[in-house]
Amino acid sequence: MDNAICVVIISCFSVFKRFFMFSDSKFIEQFLDNLFEAVYFVDTSRQIMHWNKAAENLTGWKKEEIIGHRCMDNILVHIDSEGNNLCTGNCPLIQSMKSRSLHQSDIYLHHKDGHRIPVHVRIIPLFSESGESTGAIEIFSNTSADNDLMGQIDELRKLSMIDALTGIANRRYGEKIILDRIDEKNRFGWDTGIIFFDIDNFKYFNDSFSHNTGDRVLKMVSNTLRESIRSFDHVSRWGGEEFIVVLSNVTIEQLKEKAELLRRLTSESFFFEKEIRLFATISGGATMIRADDTVETVVERADHLMYQSKRSGKNKVTAGEHYSTM
């Protein structure tokens, strides 16, 4: 959303509040619910006062589950790309209210289903007619490549290449993508990296809770990976609790950096099971495709690197061209 729409919202709100109490205005609610952008209002304590339909659609949280709560009450739990919890530290809402100015940032919010979604937020501070701070408006939009992938997903369904549980590509399609990238390496010299991820201690979720809980973990991890890659990159469920991410046009340093980001975002995702907050971590192995690779050799190399991460304590990423057998 451009800055012009921000100005429209500010102007409309300034007019609305002359005629309606902030919490009682049906007109404001109708106005907000007809916006394409996700919007919510908070007071100075960051208690959520209004929550529009677009916010419901983007986050999975219904208005009645949100109104009256504060944004950090195990709901949105904003984090940055380093995994820092912004709700208990460098909160964009607090920054905007303290500086009395517009604030923008790229962050990751917590979806109701557990996974992380990258969003661009714009914060607009609000003031009374006497100039006192009364709260803020947060406008946020999805910056993932998920929307761009919808056409690809429809095509994949036709080809029976979608994993039924997670909704991402299955192993068959993953193998096709890797084969295509090997061909591109040989024909054009284009660089591609792959990351082999495995969920740590996955058996614990099935044994200690249920297979349904295990399925929720698989969906949470797959959604986090899918939401956090570019539109021309690919993620597939390789089998069981294993996933492969294929990243085009990257160096080994960029590949490792992206693998670390995906690992970190996954470790910051969670959902509640019987009032227990459940987290999952992943271990990864990252390597570049070589001209003499086959699908089997590059996946085997990434798999061995992933097991090096497991042996060194889990919740880690190991990147390289070679792997240790120790």
**Alpha-helical runs (H) found in 125-210:** 146-158, 171-188, 202-208
Neighbours of 145 (CB within 10 A): 17
Strands, E assignment, the chain: 38-42, 48-51, 103-110, 116-127, 133-142, 192-199, 234-239, 242-248, 270-273, 276-279, 282-288, 317-319
Q: How many angstroms separate the first and last alpha carbons of the chain? A: 52
Q: Tokens 């590059």 belong to which residue?
A: 298
Instruction: Exactly one of 138, 241, 242, 260 is catalytic; name it.
Output: 241
Q: Tokens 């009395």 belong to which residue?
A: 100
Rounded distance between C-alpha atoms, residue 57 and residue 117, angstroms: 12
| Distance set, CA 312 to CA 129, 141, 284 (Å) | 59, 38, 11
Pair 133, 44: CB distance under 8 Å: yes
Is position 175 annotated as part of the catalytic site? no
Pair 81, 94: CB distance under 8 Å: no
Name the residues annotated as catalytic: 241
